[in-house]
Structure 1
Amino acid sequence: MSLQSPRRVLVGIGGGIAAYKVCEVISTLFKSGAEVRVILTDSARQFITPLTVSTLSRHPAYTDADFWQPTHQRPLHIVLGEWAEIMLIAPLTANTLAKLAYGMADNLLTNTVLASTCPVLLAPAMNTEMWQQVAVQRNWQQLLTDNRFYGMSTGYGLLACDRVGAGRMAEPAEIVTHIQSLLCTSGKRDLLGKQVLISAGGTREYLDPVRFIGNPATGKMGIALAQAAFHRGADVTLVHGIVNAEIPSGVRSLPVVSAAEMEKAMLECFPTADITVMAAAVADVKPANYTREKLPKRSLPESLPLAPVTDILAQLGHCKQPQQILIGFAAQTGDIVTPALEKLHRKKLDAIVANPIDLPDSGFGSDNNQAIFLNKAGDRIAIAPGTKLEMAHRVFDLVVSH
């Protein structure tokens, strides 16, 4: 997270075995440059200690013992509520959920929520039967009607009670990514109700079952775009080739291998998309002939006949409706603007992101990136170096504002 530091994240830990996972969240946030403060509920102290979280956050942990002591010039919950840019409550227990749903406050954590105005990210965790109770689901849905609150889906798997089912807390990496998105956007949901279609990753064009023409794309940029759009409220479909990163939960995933498969999936999804971002690294050519059985080494051709691959982005540009927004990516070396502008106009795009792949710490495989955003109105806007998630949010900022 290369956002302007220090960013202020307040973490509230509830009483559940998943509390141990929050330690990784705190550590990751601190290492990324954020200031982290932690509130432990009394029940959370049955699972982890104030010493543990204070060591990871480099700041004393707050408990109810601090809340009820008249040792502060101003009430502690007011100070913490005003300090926080983002709040995380994890694990969110059924008890704390019920209190928040009805505006109740009987401890430091719940009083701080009511004394703050910042976005609050909720990561519930509980036994499957508890999570599926009508009362719990009613409280969950009621709380999410308040635009301050952002809910993370529970996972499915083996729980601490040995039950296999829903109720697992979201994984630390997913929680951290959502926090970073909220810091980028201050919680705005400017894509709410929008259908966003994104392509990611590289394609493979096979000569035989074990040999192919490909590229170094990992899909990280496209996945970051999908995460950013989802966190801003969009319904997201991700058509992806081979990727080296986990597909975000909540995103519809359509895996493909070849350019022909990606073309079919994109053309099927495109008519209902409000915004389409073509971030995939699609092959330009493929072997002219495919052999169903592996070719012996001695049978490999000395020169490989090639055939062109259909330009998916150009197809989308020619069938685009006026209300649709179509964004391309141009991975370039050297002069990145001239070829990107040519693609912008030839493929009838609304904008294109010119992406240098020959600069350090950007382009294929990197967690970071930089670009120049060009649109059909003639704007030319530099996107400063940063994480791919930050760049994804910057792209959507520009799409929404232009």
Structure 2
Amino acid sequence: MLNPKLSKVVIGVGGGIAAYKVCELVSRLFQSGVEVRVILTNSAQAFVTPLTLATLSRHSAYTDELFWQPIHSRPLHIELGEWADLLVIAPLTANTLAKLTYGMADNLLTNTVLASTCPVLLAPAMNTDMWEQLAVQRNWQQLLTDSRYHGIGTASGLLACDRVGAGRMAEPPEILAYIQSLLHTGGKRDLVGKRVLISAGGTREFLDPVRFIGNPSTGKMGLALAQAALHRGANVTLVHGPANWNVPLGVQAIPVINAEEMQQVMQEYLTSADMIVMSAAVADVKPRDYSSEKLPKRSLPESLALEFVPDIVSELAKMKQPHQCLIGFAAQTGDIVAPALDKLKRKNLDVIVANPIDKTDSGFGSDNNQAIFLDKQGKQLEIPPCSKLQMAHHLYDFAWG
């Protein structure tokens, strides 16, 4: 999903046990076509070797030893700072955080940061007590007031010190998604101060405790929409059906099961939202009768009586205010434009995403998607096959730009 004009990333590795996770990050970046350069602080080398990261990045890894040797035609930190489209520091230690906050530069990594103008992504990792220190939190919040810096908060769990609490570094897939977003946007935060309400995944309408009417939706498109909005600075609420993925750090997630529950939550949060993206694949019908006990196979009806579930997006359209943007999805086979245009007008949407579910590596369950965007002013934009995260960014560019 990468912008070919923005694909040069410098990874700065701090001294912490989470440094081992950077190996996966560097490997996946290289495999996705990104040029990677790695800088290790002196303390980082106690946890992972320059040789390991050089092998994974297919390029020499840089250390302070190289920084202080006059072997370059130009200062190394200047070359790296000008070369990078994005800097990533993972793990970010309390020590490096303090240096960045006050503009200090006493090693290759911090000098490179000051010699660059590109966005900087920070992934902190430290013991819970260290992370929760007032001085550390003050530095963290102060640094993030600088528009260059983008931060992934820490997760909670079992730490290497056997403490259970906050301070775990974000996992490589989450950092990778943020990197991909920043390479797409160039670091812009055009959704700062905006509230984005997103529905995702399929709903399940149960006949009995074990049988339901549903669809193959995995919610991956809604997850990508949440990630993209978060990375662009939005306050994100994600209302999702049953899913097999982790909610991004910083996203408010509300799980639901059926259409009635989803409608209730979406309407509850509607009034505070600036943008509503209805990407969920909501069931159209549900069994008319529900059994609280599992029905024996012999008792299953030969003909299942059905009734329609609420049309959530239509109800939201009736309630939305003029300043709000309501986006719907139309998953189609065959001709995708005509049905989407009809849905756009009939349901009073601002934008609709027409995406084919009968194309290879697209639609339900896929990591990729393709679509045609249409808005109520008659504008259309065709998006060729790409990752769902890139699709999400294209949608925000179309709807909000």
Give the TM-score range, shorter chain. Answer: over 0.9
Distance 1:353 1:4 in 2: 25
* 1:2 CA drift (Å): 4.9
Structure 2 equivalent of residue 31 of structure 1 = 31
Distance 1:5 1:255 in 2: 38
Amino acid of the residue matched to residue 116 of structure 1? S
SS in 2 for 1:111: helix
Contact 1:217 1:243 in 2 (8 A): no
SS in 1 for 2:29: helix
Contact 1:189 1:231 in 2 (8 A): yes
Amino acid of the residue matched to residue 279 of structure 1? S
> Which sections of structure 1, spanning at least 5 residues, go unmatched?
none
SS in 2 for 1:228: helix
Contact 1:22 1:172 in 2 (8 A): yes
Of 239-248 and 212-221, more deviation after overlay is shown by 239-248
1:88-128 per-residue CA deviation (whole Å, 9 max, x = no partner) reads 00111111111100001011100000000010001111111
Structure 1 equivalent of residue 210 of structure 2 = 210
Structure 2 equivalent of residue 276 of structure 1 = 276
* 1:131 CA drift (Å): 1.3
Distance 1:134 1:319 in 2: 43
Distance 1:208 1:131 in 2: 47
Of 173-182 and 132-141, more deviation after overlay is shown by 132-141
Distance 1:267 1:138 in 2: 37
SS in 2 for 1:272: coil
Alignment of 1:247-262 (within 5 A): 247-262=247-262
Structure 2 equivalent of residue 146 of structure 1 = 146
Alignment of 1:35-184 (within 5 A): 35-184=35-184
Structure 2 equivalent of residue 389 of structure 1 = 389
Distance 2:45 2:302 in 1: 69
Distance 2:158 2:258 in 1: 35
Alpha-carbon distance change, 3 to 385 in structure 1, aligned in 2, over 3 angstroms: farther
Contact 2:90 2:124 in 1 (8 A): yes
Structure 2 equivalent of residue 311 of structure 1 = 311
Amino acid of the residue matched to residue 348 of structure 1? N
1:211-231 per-residue CA deviation (whole Å, 9 max, x = no partner) reads 110000000000100010011
Amino acid of the residue matched to residue 255 of structure 1? P
SS in 1 for 2:271: helix
Alpha-carbon distance change, 260 to 154 in structure 1, aligned in 2, over 3 angstroms: same
SS in 1 for 2:270: helix
Distance 2:20 2:396 in 1: 34
Amino acid of the residue matched to residue 242 of structure 1? P
* 1:3 CA drift (Å): 4.0
SS in 1 for 2:187: coil
Structure 2 equivalent of residue 191 of structure 1 = 191
Instruction: Give the TM-score, by structure 2 length.
Output: 0.98
Contact 1:2 1:386 in 2 (8 A): no
Of 391-400 and 1-10, more deviation after overlay is shown by 1-10
Of 214-223 and 290-299, more deviation after overlay is shown by 290-299
Distance 1:165 1:83 in 2: 37
Distance 1:2 1:102 in 2: 32
Alpha-carbon distance change, 245 to 5 in structure 1, aligned in 2, over 3 angstroms: farther
* 1:4 CA drift (Å): 2.6
Q: What RMSD in Å do the two structures reach over aligned CA positions? A: 1.0
Aligned residues: 401
Contact 1:6 1:35 in 2 (8 A): no
Contact 1:237 1:251 in 2 (8 A): yes
SS in 1 for 2:4: coil
1:359-400 per-residue CA deviation (whole Å, 9 max, x = no partner) reads 001000000001000000000111121100000000001111
* 1:5 CA drift (Å): 7.1
> Which sections of structure 2, spanning at least 5 residues, go unmatched?
none
SS in 2 for 1:267: helix
Distance 1:151 1:309 in 2: 41
Instruction: Give the TM-score, by structure 1 length.
Output: 0.98
Contact 1:5 1:34 in 2 (8 A): no
Of 164-173 and 384-393, more deviation after overlay is shown by 164-173
* 1:320 CA drift (Å): 1.4
Structure 2 equivalent of residue 380 of structure 1 = 380
User: Are 2:361 and 1:367 aligned?
Assistant: no
